[in-house]
Chain A
Amino acid sequence: MSGKTPVLQARNLMRRYGEGCPTCLAKTGAAYGRNMCPDCGAVLACRDVSFDLYNREVLGIVGESGSGKSTVLKMLHFDMEADEGEMMLHVEGQEPENVFAWSSFQKRMLRNAQMGIVYQHPHLGLRMKISAGGNIAERLLMAGWRNVGQIRERAAELLERTEVPVERMDEPPASFSGGMQQRVQIAKALSNEPALLLLDEVTTGLDVSVQARVLDLIRRLQENLHVATLVVSHDLGVIRMLSTRCLVMKNGEVVESGLTDQILEDPQHPYTQLLVSSALR
């Protein structure tokens, strides 16, 4: 290694729905093409997921619906609790710690100060009936901002950066187009200058031209902000465009990981080969 430390180390993340039995792990996964245990009926949404995420890096997670990729993201954002595993977060000037072991108050503080997330559905990330500026202000308040003038200034700056017309900052996102809502979400996610940015299917469901604009925006922001980013998508095109390394998930487990161009040009696992050969060029 070239002496760099990862911002985030995820180790053996596991999430199970149902009681579980001793054979769950042995009888599910990509090799069986299922994540429901045939003996006890428990569902393993994800298992044994480990990876390192470095500063400035964009790591992709690609896989079909139900592969567990969004579960991983939700656990990292504390939207969902992991049944097993560790999330080691290295924040500058602090000793790395397994933040899964923290209290919910500590987790909330950490999320407000160090994380940003953009969901596929804007209504998960935004309050649709309060103004776009208000959405960002709320986030800034949670991160400890107090001066109203400064908050408004910062919100305007963020909206400008994410190409949302500033004159519309007092309108609620409900009156915006899908692409604009997504850009407001991105502005909100970046407002606290997070160390970790989580993007969950951010362009899914958008028209291609709008999709290109959002992807473009993310790339430009990435170049300027150097934030460590995790991109979850079922779309290989998105993964290709944004990430330098990626993980491929199927039935709750990582079947392959590597440099994104290598995964696309020389996929090893049968599922990845199928995925790559099925993608539109």
Chain B
Amino acid sequence: MLQVDQLSKTFKVHSLGGKEILGVPPCSFSVEEGKSLALSAPSGRGKSSILKCIYRSYLPSSGRILLQSRSLGPVDLAQLDEHDVLTLREEEMGYVTQFLRVIPRLSAIEVVADPLCRRGVKRAEAEAEAERLLRCLKIPEPLLEASPITFSGGEQQRVNIARALIARPRLLLLDEPTASLDRESVERVMDMLNDLKASGSTMLMIFHDKELMYRMADEVMEL
């Protein structure tokens, strides 16, 4: 479903006189539909950058990122038109970052429901599902209507995960989804991921915790 072919990313830093910094050395891998692949490497080897290139928060410098899209057919994410990238983000791709960036004044439920609303699901329905996920992730009752800006790191991370999972993306990119979570929350997240995987989602992931990585991944690639 996803085939990454000689992908590389170089940053040209103009404040350093145009110095080029290699973020991702050329890499190739593929993930079959419904399978999960973990990327493993010490910090600073560009694992997160690979996910960002696929999500197109970074512009890939070279290589191809071939995706079998349901709505657009076979596409190369490295070259894809911006509007098509947005369509894919809305309909097929989910991304859990290490950092949550939210709009002030929106409640946790609204933040999580947003991706479903964008897909045209009725607000009330989307919010009910958001609430279900947040409760499942043990977000305390009084926080459901509060802005995630006020949440602890672990709570924010759970909001982040709920937001990425709510639309049940066909391709899920996970960047250390359990990094700041306690044991119980980790188990709940793992359950949710397994549930999503059972329904056919494909996953590309980075786990700091080796044990979790081997539990979750069908395959591990050392970079």
CB <8 Å contact, B57 and A273? no
Cα–Cα distance between A261 and B58 once the two chains are bound (Å): 8
Over the window 1-35 of chain B, the binary record of Cβ atoms lying under 8 Å from chain A Cβ atoms (1 yes, 0 no) is 00000000001111100000000000000000000
Cα–Cα distance between A259 and B13 once the two chains are bound (Å): 20
Chain A residues whose CB sits within 8 angstroms of the CB of B101 once the complex forms: 240
CB <8 Å contact, A266 and B59? yes
Over the window 243-281 of chain A, the binary record of Cβ atoms lying under 8 Å from chain B Cβ atoms (1 yes, 0 no) is 011000000000000110110011011100110010000
CB <8 Å contact, B59 and A273? no
Known: A2-B87, A212-B105. A266 touches B58 (CB 8 A): yes
CB <8 Å contact, A212 and B56? no
CB <8 Å contact, A261 and B57? yes
Which range contains the number of A residues in contact with the other chain? 20 to 34
Q: Does A241 sit within 8 A of B, measured CB to CB?
A: yes
Cα–Cα distance between A223 and B72 once the two chains are bound (Å): 24
Q: Does B104 sit within 8 A of A, measured CB to CB?
A: yes
Q: Does B85 sit within 8 A of A, measured CB to CB?
A: yes
Cα–Cα distance between A106 and B29 once the two chains are bound (Å): 57
By CB atoms of chain A within 10 A, which of B52, B83, B87, B105 has the most? B83
CB <8 Å contact, A262 and B103? no
Chain A residues whose CB sits within 8 angstroms of the CB of B12 once the complex forms: 268
Q: Does A83 sit within 8 A of B, measured CB to CB?
A: no
What is the interface size of chain B, counting residues whose CB is below 8 A from a CB of the partner? 25
CB <8 Å contact, A258 and B59? yes
The distance from the CB of A91 to the nearest CB of chain B, in whole angstroms, is: 20
Q: Does A1 sit within 8 A of B, measured CB to CB?
A: yes
User: How many residue pairs between the two chains, A and B, have CB atoms under 8 Å in the bound complex?
Assistant: 56
CB <8 Å contact, A1 and B57? no
CB <8 Å contact, A266 and B11? yes
Cα–Cα distance between A139 and B103 once the two chains are bound (Å): 31
Over the window 102-136 of chain A, the binary record of Cβ atoms lying under 8 Å from chain B Cβ atoms (1 yes, 0 no) is 00000000000000000000000000000000000
Known: A2-B72, A273-B13. A54 touches B57 (CB 8 A): no
Q: Does B209 sit within 8 A of A, measured CB to CB?
A: no
Which residues of A42-84 have CB atoms within 8 Å of chain B's CB atoms?
A: 54
Name 16 A/B residue pairs within 8 A (Cβ), A-sorted: A1-B84, A2-B87, A54-B83, A216-B105, A241-B103, A245-B86, A261-B57, A262-B56, A262-B58, A262-B59, A265-B57, A266-B11, A268-B12, A273-B13, A273-B15, A277-B15
Given A216-B103, A216-B105, A266-B58: 16 more A-B contacts, CB < 8 Å:
A2-B71, A2-B83, A4-B83, A54-B83, A213-B105, A216-B104, A219-B103, A259-B82, A259-B85, A259-B86, A262-B58, A262-B59, A266-B52, A266-B57, A268-B12, A274-B14
